[in-house]
């Protein structure tokens, strides 16, 4: 029987208070990883409460994890978070750069602020976490960056988002080369249409249009993405680096 064990390895997942991040963190902890659950603070503390719920689910399934607050677009907060993880656990074995936002609008109507906020969180945030984590990460560590099908297809109304996710793919390939000397693998996962809050923000008509282009004819589930990340974080994927794994029901092939 082949099983995946991440026993005692410390994994950070950004934007893990809900959606794909929460599911991925749970999956890694179910495989024995010690979880560092990142969330970003908001004025009414909804994210902290959501992250505490994730922590309860991890504990209920026999796993171990702690919460870490940081806005990934802020280099200082990321540096502090990585330092705190190291102080708490003495090691960092893997990161999943999952935090992301969408601010869809045609390029003609898109404001500079809408462009910049998406680039700042999705692309610059991924860079910040990779930069500070890679400095302290164990030999043989794992980095998984969550890109998107939009980063390769360039979906309508997503100039900011598609550019940020294409950037994540390029960043992944550069880091795969730069970090290979420490046997750290760096890969991207590019989900298609997955049923999370981000998917529910898409108008029904647009959802149906997209579903019509997906050979498997259905929306993906967060577990489909989480399982792919788990594989890339495991010893089974030790010789895979610099790749983009598409999880999209055949929408892009
Ligand atoms: P989601 O439900 O909106 O969750 C995104 C998470 O990122 C939330 O926890 C969010 O916190 C957090 N976040 C936002 N800004 C942050 C910041 N500055 N610092 C730290 N965390 C921050 O989205 P999702 O569907 O799970 O998507 C997760 C990732 O998959 C994203 O990178 C997304 O682009 C990618 N993706 C999703 C799909 C899909 O169909 N769902 C498809 C392709 C790619 P808040 O609660 O404050 O928002």
Residues 120 and 239: their CA atoms lie apart, in Å, by 31
- Residue 64's beta-bridge partner residues? 34
Catalytic residue (choose from 39, 132, 161, 252): 161
Residues 101 and 121: their CA atoms lie apart, in Å, by 7
Residues 213 and 130: their CA atoms lie apart, in Å, by 34
DSSP secondary-structure letter at 220?
Answer: B
Question: Residue 82: in which H helix or E strand, if any?
Answer: helix 75-89
Specify whether 39 is catalytic.
Answer: no
Verify whether ligand 1 is closer than 6 Å to residue 226 (CB atom).
Answer: no
Token pair belonging to 127: 């860079």
**115 Cβ contact list (under 8 Å, min separation 6):** 159, 160
Verify whether ligand 1 is closer than 6 Å to residue 249 (CB atom).
Answer: no
pTM score, two decimals? 0.98
pLDDT tens digits, the chain, 253 residues: what are they?
A: 888 999 989 999 999 999 999 999 999 999 999 999 999 999 999 999 999 999 999 999 999 999 999 999 999 999 999 999 999 999 999 999 999 999 999 999 999 999 999 999 999 999 999 999 999 998 999 999 999 999 999 999 999 999 999 999 999 999 999 999 999 999 999 999 999 988 888 889 989 999 999 999 999 999 999 999 999 999 999 999 999 999 999 999 9
Verify whether ligand 1 is closer than 6 Å to residue 224 (CB atom).
Answer: no
Query: Ligand 1: distance of its center to the CA of 99 in Å?
Result: 5
Helix, strand or coil for residue 143?
A: strand
């Amino acid at each position: 029987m082949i099983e995946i064990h991440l026993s005692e390895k410390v994994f950070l997942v950004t934007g893990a208070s809900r959606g794909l991040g929460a599911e991925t963190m749970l999956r890694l902890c179910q495989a024995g990883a010690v979880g560092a659950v990142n969330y970003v603070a908001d004025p009414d503390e909804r994210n902290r409460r959501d992250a505490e719920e994730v922590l309860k689910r991890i504990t209920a399934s026999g796993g171990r994890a702690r919460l870490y607050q940081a806005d990934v677009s802020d280099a200082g907060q990321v540096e502090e978070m990585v330092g705190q993880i190291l102080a708490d656990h003495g090691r960092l074995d893997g990161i999943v750069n999952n935090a992301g936002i969408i601010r869809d609008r045609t390029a003609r109507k898109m404001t500079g602020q809408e462009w910049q906020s998406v680039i700042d969180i999705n692309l610059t945030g991924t860079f910040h976490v990779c930069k500070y984590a890679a400095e302290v990460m164990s030999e043989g560590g794992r980095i998984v960056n969550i890109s998107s099908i939009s980063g390769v297809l360039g979906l309508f109304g997503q100039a900011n988002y598609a550019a940020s996710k294409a950037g994540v793919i390029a960043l992944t390939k550069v880091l795969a080369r730069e970090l290979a000397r420490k046997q750290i693998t760096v890969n991207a996962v590019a989900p298609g249409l997955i049923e999370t809050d981000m998917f529910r923000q898409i108008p029904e008509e647009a959802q149906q249009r997209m579903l019509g282009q997906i050979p498997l004819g259905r929306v993906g589930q967060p577990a489909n993405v989480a399982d792919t990340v788990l594989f890339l974080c495991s010893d089974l994927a030790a010789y895979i680096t610099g790749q983009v794994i598409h999880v999209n029901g055949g929408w892009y092939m």
